[in-house]
Chain A
């Protein structure tokens, strides 16, 4: 069979995120008071999760269940000459074995074959019995080496290929107008998703129908891609995901091992479970691509930007890497822009979307550049950003933003961190331990996907079910669904039974790109409004008034003109006489406007100039995401995003051994993720104002935004402390020490 390539890469992902068409649905006015929306609401499933009762994919067990394992290539580049299963298949307990590739192997860990056996140990042993004959080929795993002439060719085309280009105005004109021109180069390392719950799938065939339990961010795209791969009607496939321990983009789309589980299960005639190990997570399930970004740009003395020229070499292994220029093209008013982005292919596994793909790396470069430009201009870096503020997208040359609360983020964030405390000249303070403040701006999409469907079922006994095929990554989807319905129908969140995570339910988009809340929330609001209208009509008859005069209160309907007259929710529901389903849909996005979320982070750091250690003291994260639905989970999202950003800023990098082509950071001791003692005070701030046309709740997504500006804010704070900009992440002590030493002897 043809080797499987994971989808989507970050390019298709970005395209999805920017979609818009049609006209607006009516939105809730800003002054509306809610019982739950906008408040801190505890998770409806919180106790299930913390007591270990919530079922995750790995927890499911079925009778006759087999365990699958993947045989992975130990070579970074090779030709598979022959695969011999005879010894493996004659091993007691081995029930099936399949080939996963024929021909070229392009990275270590690429799937070669798979087995299913009665237990995990037997499956492991069977892997060792598969005889694979490889013809080993030359490889290259370092992006720098892959760019050199004569480097082994990774794909059938050159290692460096154009990924994206963009131009507006004329940078030559911009250069002529500039009083100051600077050029800086920034690097970001490869980061690995490492969700707490490793990937897992269970495939179960019955009567020609395939059911897959999958730890995925995208049940519908897994279904559709499985249908194509297995040449099966999509209607014959059902994908289920109940609870999940994070994905960060690594669980978007169909995985090769999920397909393998389906094939093995069909072959063996028994269900097959495949769980990825931490080691597999470390080197063959995707990553955030590296970047090497050079920005050349100029400004007038007053800070007005005259041009920006960005060049990016992005390394996504055998994948195309990330397009990182969106923030630079969009955030600041700038008439002349030139972008050139190139993919650099190496013999490492393909990158996948990673929480704000491209924006994280692009923002690190752009916002570090702005900081360094401000220093050259002897300007307050925040002032430089205000000076180049835009009301329209594409640097004030495109269409207006539907709403933009960035100025307010600047104001609130600066106030909370005490911005005036920063060093006026970077590195001006003396001493071994130096403190500094830095900030960075963020832009993202997250408008939600029109056409998202949701059903609200009301039983004659007054019980209520919310049904949607969305998936909760662990962000609290069930809770805001309950909150929105409760506020619309006069119920309490715990009154509503939430059914999600099943392709047999109404369609919802993948949970990525900060899309879930602004897709699913409005669809349920729509369904609940329809239900409210019907229930009000019934109540009106009982209350002897017109439906407009019926007010919804907690678990009852009241005649506004005669508050003595009221009828309970259950009595009204009884009048429906049967289970009634109300269909909701997330409406269109009116054309002619740009839908973006905004934010600004402010960081305070302390650097030990003798050891190079950076300690983050405080991060203030100000965000504008339209209306905040649940302040508690929104704050958690921000704290999580900032924490992940600190981790990438200070610790995380996938390291490869260039000689062997293998990853050396295959466990969580060597691939370092932030620990509790490194997490500082994090202060989330929201500019809580509904967008006037984005959807009926006026809300934007928050998944990606808090992850985006963290590294730039911290690096800028380090610059403010030391007077030396690190220009790379992670900023480990060896990096900082080397920079300080270089500075000491010029």
Chain B
């Protein structure tokens, strides 16, 4: 790990002022559960680390009339144990509970989970100078790619590891981003960017900006959500494939279904084809499985990860049936 200087702003105003003026490479530290391994392996070598721990205004959940507001520094444990989340957003609770281990959930934050860097053993190994780190090629393409992308890859085949992101996108969550120029909101679905758009970065956050809040709109009374995650190991593992699903359930019909896959693409991957095929129709398991198979024809697996397509198919079916049974 290289030497860096630590900056600890006292409040949001101080933070955005600092981000606006400071030059030099810097990174933002929230829970640190991902950042520290990147620093130790010298994947990131910032000159400045901006520690958010003193920004009290970014902690905790707030229920408002039209939305649930989640401060970016809210820990995953807090999110998972929140009665509002447990009552209204079952899928989000499942997603939060599936993350890492109890120790990681106690320290990791909601904002950090959305901004964590992708999984790829080439990206995370200092010996491999891959395209994402300024090199000329993606080692996974012809190398070991068991855990890599089946959608949206090509030039770079990382997968986005967040469990919260697919779930929040399925719930049509927005995020709030602050800078010296003020605050702006955007749909979380629009936040993430593919390698073909920005190779070095997985989202639209600018160096002078910070993600401060997640806003989950109040659910309609029929809204049901679920999160199905498949890992090799029973805990402390990232998803091989996960499916976040939300829809208004009426009998055995789903209205406005949202299906977002995790662990399969450089960004949370919304499967609109699947949504269209099942929307408003009477669904049984066989029909859901057939639709999943059809929707996954778009997948472009690599040499060692075709099994992810099979897993995605099973998980889409299971998520659909789980919505209907809840």
A interface residues with partner B (beta carbon < 8 Å): 74, 108, 121, 279, 610-613, 650-651, 655-660, 662, 664-667, 669-670, 672, 674-678, 732-734, 737-738, 741
Count: A-B pairs, CB below 8 Å: 80
Instruction: Say whether A611 contacts B121, CB under 8 Å.
Output: no
Min Cβ gap A517→B in Å is 33
Min Cβ gap B1→A in Å is 8
**Which 10 pairs from chain A and chain B are nearest by CB?**
A677-B234, A734-B307, A664-B121, A678-B234, A677-B235, A610-B314, A675-B235, A657-B143, A737-B307, A670-B121
* C-alpha spacing A660/B140, complex, angstroms: 11
* C-alpha spacing A309/B79, complex, angstroms: 59
Asked whether B144 is an interface residue with its Cβ less than 8 Å from the other chain, the reply is yes
* C-alpha spacing A717/B3, complex, angstroms: 52
* C-alpha spacing A662/B232, complex, angstroms: 23
Q: A660-B143, A662-B127, A664-B125 are contacts. A732–B232 as well, Cβ < 8 Å?
A: yes
Q: A612-B307, A665-B121, A676-B235 are contacts. A660–B314 as well, Cβ < 8 Å?
A: no
Q: Name the prevailing secondary structure of the A interface residues.
A: loop
Which of these, A651, A659, A666, contacts B232 with CB under 8 Å? A651
Interface string of B56-70 (1 = CB under 8 A from A): 000000000000000
Q: Size of chain B's interface in residues, with CB distance under 8 A?
A: 32
Cβ of A665: which chain B residues have Cβ within 8 Å of it? 121
Instruction: Say whether B121 contacts A666, CB under 8 Å.
Output: yes
Instruction: Say whether A741 contacts B125, CB under 8 Å.
Output: no
Asked whether B146 is an interface residue with its Cβ less than 8 Å from the other chain, the reply is yes
* C-alpha spacing A734/B240, complex, angstroms: 10
With A666-B125, A675-B233, A733-B240 given, can you name 9 additional A-B contacts, CB distance below 8 Å?
Answer: A610-B314, A611-B230, A655-B146, A670-B147, A672-B237, A675-B236, A676-B235, A678-B234, A741-B310
Q: A610-B314, A612-B307, A660-B128 are contacts. A674–B233 as well, Cβ < 8 Å?
A: yes
* Contacts of B107-124 to chain A: CB distance below 8 A: 121-122, 124
* Contacts of B93-150 to chain A: CB distance below 8 A: 101, 121-122, 124-125, 127-128, 139, 142-144, 146-147
* C-alpha spacing A674/B233, complex, angstroms: 7
* C-alpha spacing A372/B124, complex, angstroms: 42
Interface string of B303-324 (1 = CB under 8 A from A): 0110100110010000000000
Instruction: Say whether A738 contacts B307, CB under 8 Å.
Output: yes
Asked whether B274 is an interface residue with its Cβ less than 8 Å from the other chain, the reply is no
Asked whether B37 is an interface residue with its Cβ less than 8 Å from the other chain, the reply is yes
Asked whether B90 is an interface residue with its Cβ less than 8 Å from the other chain, the reply is no
Q: A611-B230, A675-B233, A676-B235 are contacts. A667–B307 as well, Cβ < 8 Å?
A: no
Cβ of A667: which chain B residues have Cβ within 8 Å of it? 37, 124
Q: A74-B127, A611-B314, A737-B310 are contacts. A672–B144 as well, Cβ < 8 Å?
A: no
Interface string of B1-20 (1 = CB under 8 A from A): 10100000000000000000
Min Cβ gap A274→B in Å is 18
9 residue pairs from A and B, CB less than 8 Å apart: A611-B311, A665-B121, A675-B101, A675-B235, A676-B235, A677-B233, A678-B235, A734-B304, A738-B307
Cβ of B307: which chain A residues have Cβ within 8 Å of it? 612, 733-734, 737-738
Give the nearest-CB partner of B234 in chain A: A677
Cβ of A674: which chain B residues have Cβ within 8 Å of it? 233
Min Cβ gap A676→B in Å is 7
* C-alpha spacing A658/B144, complex, angstroms: 8
* C-alpha spacing A656/B305, complex, angstroms: 16
Cβ of B37: which chain A residues have Cβ within 8 Å of it? 667
* C-alpha spacing A678/B233, complex, angstroms: 7
Cβ of A678: which chain B residues have Cβ within 8 Å of it? 233-235
* C-alpha spacing A611/B239, complex, angstroms: 13
Cβ of B151: which chain A residues have Cβ within 8 Å of it? none
Give the nearest-CB partner of A615 in chain B: B234
* C-alpha spacing A676/B230, complex, angstroms: 17
Instruction: Say whether A664 contacts B144, CB under 8 Å.
Output: yes
Min Cβ gap B184→A in Å is 34
Min Cβ gap A607→B in Å is 14
* C-alpha spacing A554/B69, complex, angstroms: 68
Instruction: Say whether A121 contacts B233, CB under 8 Å.
Output: no
Asked whether B238 is an interface residue with its Cβ less than 8 Å from the other chain, the reply is yes
Cβ of A657: which chain B residues have Cβ within 8 Å of it? 122, 139, 143-144
* C-alpha spacing A74/B144, complex, angstroms: 18
* C-alpha spacing A670/B1, complex, angstroms: 20
Cβ of B41: which chain A residues have Cβ within 8 Å of it? 279
Min Cβ gap B281→A in Å is 23
Q: A74-B127, A665-B121, A670-B121 are contacts. A659–B139 as well, Cβ < 8 Å?
A: yes
Cβ of B310: which chain A residues have Cβ within 8 Å of it? 737, 741
Instruction: Say whether A734 contacts B146, CB under 8 Å.
Output: yes
* C-alpha spacing A659/B37, complex, angstroms: 26
Cβ of B304: which chain A residues have Cβ within 8 Å of it? 734
Cβ of A733: which chain B residues have Cβ within 8 Å of it? 230, 232, 240, 307, 311
* Contacts of B65-92 to chain A: CB distance below 8 A: none
Cβ of B3: which chain A residues have Cβ within 8 Å of it? 121
Instruction: Say whether B232 contacts A675, CB under 8 Å.
Output: no
Instruction: Say whether B235 contacts A660, CB under 8 Å.
Output: no
Instruction: Say whether A659 contacts B142, CB under 8 Å.
Output: yes
* C-alpha spacing A528/B315, complex, angstroms: 64
Which of these, A279, A660, A672, contacts B233 with CB under 8 Å? A672
Instruction: Say whether A672 contacts B232, CB under 8 Å.
Output: yes
* Contacts of B221-237 to chain A: CB distance below 8 A: 230, 232-237
Min Cβ gap A221→B in Å is 32
Min Cβ gap A476→B in Å is 27
Cβ of B237: which chain A residues have Cβ within 8 Å of it? 669, 672, 675
Interface string of B146-173 (1 = CB under 8 A from A): 1100000000000000000000000000
Cβ of B128: which chain A residues have Cβ within 8 Å of it? 660, 662
Instruction: Say whether A660 contacts B139, CB under 8 Å.
Output: yes
Cβ of B147: which chain A residues have Cβ within 8 Å of it? 670
Cβ of B233: which chain A residues have Cβ within 8 Å of it? 651, 672, 674-675, 677-678
Min Cβ gap A116→B in Å is 19
Cβ of B127: which chain A residues have Cβ within 8 Å of it? 74, 108, 662
Min Cβ gap B235→A in Å is 4
Cβ of A74: which chain B residues have Cβ within 8 Å of it? 127
Min Cβ gap A677→B in Å is 3
* C-alpha spacing A658/B147, complex, angstroms: 17
Cβ of A611: which chain B residues have Cβ within 8 Å of it? 230, 311, 314
* Contacts of B243-257 to chain A: CB distance below 8 A: none
Cβ of B314: which chain A residues have Cβ within 8 Å of it? 610-611
Instruction: Say whether B230 contacts A659, CB under 8 Å.
Output: no
* C-alpha spacing A675/B235, complex, angstroms: 6
Cβ of B121: which chain A residues have Cβ within 8 Å of it? 664-666, 670
Cβ of A664: which chain B residues have Cβ within 8 Å of it? 121-122, 125, 143-144
Give the nearest-CB partner of A738 in chain B: B307
Interface centre among B37, B139, B237, B307 (most CB of A within 10 A): B307
